[in-house]
Amino acid sequence: MSFNDIFKSSYLENVTAVSLPDMAIAIILSFCLGLFIYFVYKKTYSGVMFSRTFGGSLVAMTMITTMVILAVTSNVVLSLGMVGALSIVRFRTAIKEPMDIAFLFWAIAGGIILAAGMIPLAIAGSVVIGLIMIVFCNRKSTDKPFIAVINCTDGAAEKRVADYLTQQVRKAVVKSKSAQKGNIELSYEISLKGDDTAFITSLSEMDGVNSAVLVSYNGDYMG
């Protein structure tokens, strides 16, 4: 084959560039791998609302990547055109969860490895990654954090609130404080001694306290 033959392309000849058995095996395996990634994502998800759309996109991403790499490896000219086409794609959707990025790269990498024919690496690597994700992302913390937002009237009420929380909870750390004339808003990160949250009701009935709100959060405090 000469140098010029490499860049010769015929549309009809490309039909048989990838055999039907290879296509079937690659697509089926990519679907199974994408489904496995989806179940691991669902198992390890710890956000507020689970997105089935994003989970389904992981399956689609694995299969699409596999098809693209199969096409690229079968034709040099197509691979050059694909690089140019993909270079102009821009994604505007913000990824809010850091773990979502890891799952996206996992789906893409799995599709690439499958299309390259490294099936044992794709399967073994995905199983190991899945087990690591399940073990580390599903670990339940014994010290579950909460945020208590307390609105009080003056400094004396603020001191009473601090003393009361010290007695009722395991840990109470001020995360933010907003003060205006006749109004002080405090945000505490607290750890409960047990499952009883009745103390927040007693706190709201304390003199000088206008309101008290207790909210569970995942520990990613932005402030």
Per-residue pLDDT band at 204 (split at 50, 70, 90) = confident
Give the list of residues 6+ apart from residue 53 with CB closer than 8 angstroms, or none. none
170: domain CATH number is: 3.30.70.260
CA distances from 39 to 42, 50, 112 (A): 5, 12, 20
Note the pLDDT of residue 223: 40
Place 202 in a pLDDT band, splitting at 50, 70 and 90.
confident
Assess if residue 26 is contained within a domain: yes
> Domain check: are 169 and 128 in the same one?
no
Q: Give how far the C-alpha of residue 179 lies from the chain's centroid of Cα atoms, to the nearest Å.
A: 36
Q: Could you tell me the pTM of the whole model? A: 0.61
Domain count, the chain: 2
pLDDT digits (tens, 9 = 90+) for 163-172: 888 888 888 8
Last residue of a domain, one of 137, 153, 171: 137
For residues 26 and 125, state if they share a domain. Answer: yes
Which of 114, 137, 160 finishes a domain?
Answer: 137
Query: Number of helices and strands (H, E) in the chain?
Result: 8, 4
| pLDDT at position 6 over 80 | no
**What pLDDT does 127 receive?**
92
- For the segment 106-142, what is each residue's pLDDT rounded down to a tens digit? 998 898 888 888 889 989 999 999 998 888 876 655 5
Give the residue among 146, 148, 145 at the shortest CA–CA distance from 209.
148
Q: What is the pLDDT of residues 63-101, one digit of tens each?
A: 988 888 887 776 665 666 666 556 555 656 666 677 888
Per the structure block, which two tokens stand in for 200? 């927040």
Contacts of 8 (CB under 8 A, 6+ apart): none
**Final residue belonging to a domain, choices 137, 172, 198:** 137
In a shared domain, residues 14 and 61:
yes
Residues 76, 152, single domain; the answer is no
Residues 124 and 159 in one domain: no
pLDDT digits (tens, 9 = 90+) for 13-61: 555 667 788 888 888 999 999 999 999 998 888 766 677 888 888 899 8
> Domain range for residue 131?
3-137
168 and 122 in one domain?
no
